[in-house]
C-alpha cells in the first residue's frame, strides 16, 4: 500500500481526483488551507501602498530624480 499526496490543486480538478480515487477504491482527503490574516502593521503598509499608487495614477504624486532636487523643493517650501 502506498500514499500519494497532491498539493496546490485548483478546485476545478477536485472532482476528477475524487472520481479517480473512488474508481480505485482509495481514500481521498481534501484539506483547505486558509490564508493567514494580516497584522495591523501589514494592513497599514498595504493601505499606504494603495494610496501612493492612486496618487501616481492621478498624477498628483510628487517625485524627485535626485536628493538635490528634493532638497531644493524643501528649501523653497514646495513640500
Q: How confident is the model at residue 70 (pLDDT cuts 50, 70, 90)?
A: very high
pLDDT digits (tens, 9 = 90+) for 8-35: 888 899 999 999 999 999 988 888 888 8
Among residues 46, 73, 47, 50, the alpha carbon closest in space to that of 62 is found at 73
Residue 72 predicted with pLDDT over 90:
yes
Q: How confident is the model at residue 4, as a pLDDT?
A: 84
pLDDT digits (tens, 9 = 90+) for 36-69: 899 999 999 999 999 999 998 998 888 899 999 9
Residue 54 counted as domain residue: yes
Q: How confident is the model at residue 75, as a pLDDT?
A: 95
Residue 20 counted as domain residue: no
Count how many domains the chain has.
1
Residue 64 counted as domain residue: yes
Residue 24 counted as domain residue: no
Q: How confident is the model at residue 67, as a pLDDT?
A: 96
- The residue range of the domain holding 44 is 40-75
Residue 14 counted as domain residue: no
Please give the grid coordinates belonging to residue 22.
473512488
What's the Cα-to-Cα distance from 19 to each of 2, 23, 25, 62, 69, rounded to whole Å?
18, 6, 10, 57, 65
Amino acid at each position: 500500500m502506498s500514499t500519494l499526496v497532491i498539493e496546490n490543486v485548483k478546485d476545478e480538478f477536485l472532482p476528477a481526483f475524487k472520481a479517480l480515487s473512488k474508481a480505485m477504491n482509495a481514500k481521498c482527503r481534501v484539506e483547505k488551507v486558509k490564508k493567514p490574516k494580516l497584522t495591523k502593521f501589514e494592513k497599514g503598509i498595504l493601505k499606504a501602498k494603495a494610496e501612493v499608487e492612486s496618487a501616481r495614477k492621478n498624477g498628483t504624486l510628487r517625485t524627485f530624480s535626485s536628493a538635490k532636487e528634493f532638497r531644493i523643493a524643501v528649501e523653497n517650501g514646495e513640500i
